[in-house]
Amino acid sequence: MESENQRTEDKIKQAATKIFQSKGYAATKTRDIAEEAGINLALVNYYFRSKKKLFEEVMLESLQGLASAVITIFKDESTTLDKKVTDFVHLYIDMLSENENLATFLLNSVRENPEFFIKKTHLLSELKSSSFIIQYQEAVKAKEIPPLNPTHFILNLIGLTVFPFISKPMVQVTMGTSDQAFQDMVEERKRLVPLWIKSMMTVK
Amino acid sequence: MESENQRTEDKIKQAATKIFQSKGYAATKTRDIAEEAGINLALVNYYFRSKKKLFEEVMLESLQGLASAVITIFKDESTTLDKKVTDFVHLYIDMLSENENLATFLLNSVRENPEFFIKKTHLLSELKSSSFIIQYQEAVKAKEIPPLNPTHFILNLIGLTVFPFISKPMVQVTMGTSDQAFQDMVEERKRLVPLWIKSMMTVK
DNA sequence: CTAGAATTTAAACAGTTGTTTAATAGGGTG
DNA sequence: CACCCTATTAAACAACTGTTTAAATTCTAG
């Protein structure tokens, strides 16, 4: 039976995604996944062979979601560098607001399995030849922005956008910020981060 | 026996710190700690009662190291706001360069045990009354900087400083950066982050 | 309708893990 | 030396965990 089959497999992957993202690989038990999915324990191995393979599928799909979005934006040859920055900030803040553990999950997953990601992702080559990098290099050449290592620029853009989500628990513990106040704050950053990035580009 | 006793207890805590910081709580086995410390497995429970209690001690000491440093800098009434920013950036880049898992470990620990940190730390009250916050508020009042939620300012300062370390594995996977190139890059940020922060303060 | 394949289930298995136990060794004190 | 308290050890324990098995159920095709 096709759709029932797919339904079970999907239920498992959905449950696994939720639990892996919130607790990480080691703290997640196959029995937790089975219970969350509402299926028999053995079906996890029936459909995905092992906990590790299931985790790798979840990792890759989670990365795909964020990476394909950024690649689309960065490759677009019809937009300016400024527009790409604004698009990136808006998209990432929206995506991370809907799934607050996603950034932390991916950073931890890469840290724990760097070799796996090196094999499975071609982000490097995708980005190096992207319109984004070319426009950045041209702006440097035209002396519109200082000749810094572009890694700084990318780290600043991603860091200013993503770091609030990674540090949300720390912010809430140390500053007593409510969920609503946090969300208001990151929404405000949709406007601010592009302005900040622009003003930072005057520094050499 | 005093010093031998202390030596064993310290060996365990050192080993536990190393392993907890690199692999996290769930992935760390008490047997790993015992082996790394070169002591009998039972001594872990003899000195620290449980894996969880040992972890909590390691967490608190790790946090203490970073937090006490920042509190000292932020409370200093003899320094300007600019100087506090520079001091913070230099100190954190130095500390995180020496222990690259520290930031990730603490952020994950707080995420997994927010209640524990709420009970155990008084960072909030320490910071709210600090010279740092007062100087920031006075600069806002004097219209030297725009009247933004100070959380933005703190997130930007910490984010620009700490995010490279959190994302180091991701950077190395996607951009193929070597350890040396990474270290050169963060060293360069000691100079750049304070400049960037200053230029961002002109944005309203 | 029925045989065969796919799916689901309860149970078991083997290895791991945190913790405890009971015995032993060691070292300072009276 | 004899005593006692502390430290250390090997072994065991019970619970947990990922995975497999074999039987039962459900579905599909002929």
Place of tokens 């620990």: B109
Region A67-93: mean pLDDT is 97
Q: A167 to chain B: nearest residue by CA?
A: B107
pLDDT band with cut points at 50, 70 and 90 for residue B3: low
Percent of chain B with pLDDT over 90: 89
Q: What is the pLDDT of residue B61?
A: 96
Q: What is the DSSP string of A145-194?
A: S----HHHHHHHHHHHHHHHHHTHHHHHHHH---HHHHHHHHHHHHHHHH
pLDDT at B2: 43
Look at residue A5 and tell me whether its pLDDT is greater than 90. Answer: no
pTM of this prediction exceeds 0.85: yes
Amino acid at A88: F
Instruction: Give the model's pLDDT for residue B140.
Output: 95
Q: Supply the pLDDT for residue A2.
A: 42
Instruction: Work out the pLDDT band at B122, boundaries 50, 70, 90.
Output: confident
Alpha-carbon gap: B145 to the closest alpha carbon of chain A (Å): 13
Helices (H), chain A: 2-23, 30-37, 41-48, 51-75, 81-98, 102-112, 114-120, 123-128, 131-141, 150-166, 168-175, 179-200
- Residues 84-123 on B with a CB inside 8 Å of A are 104, 106-108, 110-111, 114, 117-118, 121, 123
Residue A1, pLDDT above cutoff 80: no
Q: What is the mean pLDDT of chain B?
A: 94
User: Which DSSP helix (H) or strand (E) runs through B122?
Assistant: none
**Is B190:B122 a contact under the CB 8 Å cutoff?**
no
Segment B134-167, tens digit of pLDDT: 999 999 999 999 999 999 999 999 999 999 999 9
Residue B120 has a pLDDT of 86
Best of A110, A182, A191 to disrupt the B interface (most B CBs within 10 Å) is A110
